[in-house]
Amino acid sequence: MESKWRLAEYKVLLYRLFLGYLFYFIARVLFFAFNTHLFAVDSFWALLKLCYYGMAFDTTALLYTNSLFILLSVLPLIVNTRPGFQKGMAILYFITNLLCYATNFVDIIYYRFSQVRSTKATLDVLADENNKKLLFTHFSEAYWYVVALFIICALSWIWLYKLVKLKPQRVTDNKVYFLSSVVSFFAILALVIGGIRGDFAHSTRPINMVDAYKHITIPNQGDIVLNTPFAIFRTLGTNNYKLQHWVDDAYISANIKPIKQYNNQPAAKPNVVIIILESMAREYWGSMNRDVNIPGFKSYTPFLDSLSNSSLIFTNAYATGRQSIHAMSSVLAGIPSFQNAFTSSPYAKQNIQSIVSVCNDMGYETSFFHGAANGSMGFQGFGSILGYKHYYGRTEYNNDRDFDGIWGIWDEPFFQFMGRTLTRQKKPFMATLFTLSSHDPYQLPEKYKARFTGGPLAIDKCVQYTDNALREFFNYAKTQPWYSNTIFVITADHTSQTYYPEYSKQVNRFAVPILFYSANPAYNLKGTRTDIASQMDIYPTLADLTGYNKPFRSWGRSLVSKVPDEQPRLINSTGNIYQFMQGNYTYLFDGKNFTGIFAVEDKGLDKNLMPGGLNPEMQKGMQDCKALIQDYVDRIVNGKMVVR
């Protein structure tokens, strides 16, 4: 019976995959044992807990490694159980698994030098070495005991593999054999996809390196949770951080000014609340479009429009990334994302100066709020790297009656949850909330479906709902003693659906709102500004407003202090092309050559001015664009994201 249902084959397949988990566990323990002094793990049980969290990353690595082996194991080839086929499968299994497994042993030694799991960037460095054979010989001799441990593990793995053999079986019922194989194939395919992604949830992106840090409080413990094959697989094709030398350091210091320092001295440290609104593009805000002259324009943000009348708003502001996770690094740390998210890069783990570190340095209570499943979008992991003291997600909310069924807790109740939590926290506090209800598939709570009917775009009604959720949050906040000395910042992570042609233009595909509000008149946060602003200006602005007077790294500028030599500028990327905006022009740069220069008012990038010749401002703009990218990559790659 088992021959036509293939049960014996599936059992053996599971056993062979189980061996992978077993030996990855052994490699993780050895990795820790040889580097114990680098990790603050205070007990055996704490180590086991980290190993448990590591199983999710082991699953992804093992499924990547064994994808062809699994495919050949489940396809109905009839010859699957024959000795010759099984011998070939064993060769495939051990070539792929042991090659990947060996990278864990390399990191047993290499980690003490690099302080990070090896990634694609490590392979790139190795590729540039001319004496690979010599290096291999040297390290094999110097660390012979690690090589010996790998050989022992490999031989043990082979021995255990051979203990459970698949006996040859003859197919007696072809129809049942093939039909059951097809059903099993799709079931196993679904499991493999879920395993590679990290889970089956609609609201989460595939598991990434920063997700290892959501489980820990000491950042480098994330390297115990990770495994090296996973780190390499997840960074393949993602390393666009190549050092350049277009200008000298003196030019960067004089023109880009990546080190900022302000001398504001507020009477009392203000609380700070940063609200990042999912997909809430500038297009939907009436107050951001009062002077745009769009025929038939309709606002879907009545509360935000009214709040704008008492706020400092920037109607010419832009995102510096294209996805939600891009916004987290841009808004909080002033780090734009270009071809790939900085948070998904092999450099995201390093110590990073941000508004979180600034506030921690000044004694703030720091918290991050996101109503999705904990770990969704990589926020929890990156938040841990930034140094948030508290993370509040769907788990901490602990009431799935307010779950929207796909993404997480509806915005309105989650705003209220944040308000109540902040009231209980010690002061001053810095809190960040990332909303989620204005997200595809654009649903509303049942009680609001008749009230918020939206407009021509599916997102419009959700914008109305989130705007009202903000109204209710502010109504609560006004009743609390902390409100009168709190600075609120409201922006969007990125743009979304567009209706008006003005916002379909290439530059405006990054058009987001930025609003600063405080009931305390001492901060003078009122007015409408049309100068260039971006998400990466929020961090230095808050450092200025809170009275942080130490030097810090920032490619943005304070939007509230008139520093004459701080140049308004913007940089982002369409994916493969940098967009740099400064002065009177927008520049397009492919990393090697400038492909276009346009008047800053030309949001559609319709008229390329390069054929007409380059004036001095254009030449300087091109040089500044290169200088910013050069400093950006240099600081990220060489670990200079903190001013020491």
Catalytic residue positions? 324
Q: Is position 494 annotated in a ligand binding site? A: yes
In 3-state terms the chain splits into helix, strand, coil percentages (rounded to 5) of: 50, 10, 40
Distance CA 402, CA 6 (A): 44
Q: Is position 493 annotated in a ligand binding site? A: yes
265 Ramachandran zone, left/alpha/beta (phi>0; psi -120 to 50): beta
Q: Is position 2 annotated in a ligand binding site? A: no
Q: Is position 439 annotated in a ligand binding site? A: yes
Q: Is 538 within 8 Å of 626 (Cβ atoms)?
A: no
Exposed (0-12), middle (13-18) or buried (19+): which is 640, by Cβ within 10 Å? Answer: middle
Residue 272 dihedral angles phi and psi, to the nearest 5°: -130, 130
Strand partners, 527: 312
Smallest CA-to-CA distance from 210 within 346, 79, 308 is with: 346
Distance CA 381, CA 375 (A): 7
Residue 72 Cα distances to 14, 80, 85, 502, angstroms: 14, 8, 10, 52
Exposed e or buried b for every residue in 367-399, given b needs 16+ CB within 10 A? bbbbbbbbbbbbbbbbbbbbbbbebbbbeebee
Instruction: Report the 10 Å Cβ neighbour count for 532.
Output: 20
Omega cis (within 30) before 428 = yes
Residue with tokens 């590679």: 196
Q: Is 537 within 8 Å of 575 (Cβ atoms)?
A: no
Residue 545 dihedral angles phi and psi, to the nearest 5°: -65, -35
Which residues are known binding-site members? 278, 439, 493-494
Which residues are known binding-site members for substrate? 439
Which residues are known binding-site members for Mn(2+)? 278, 493-494
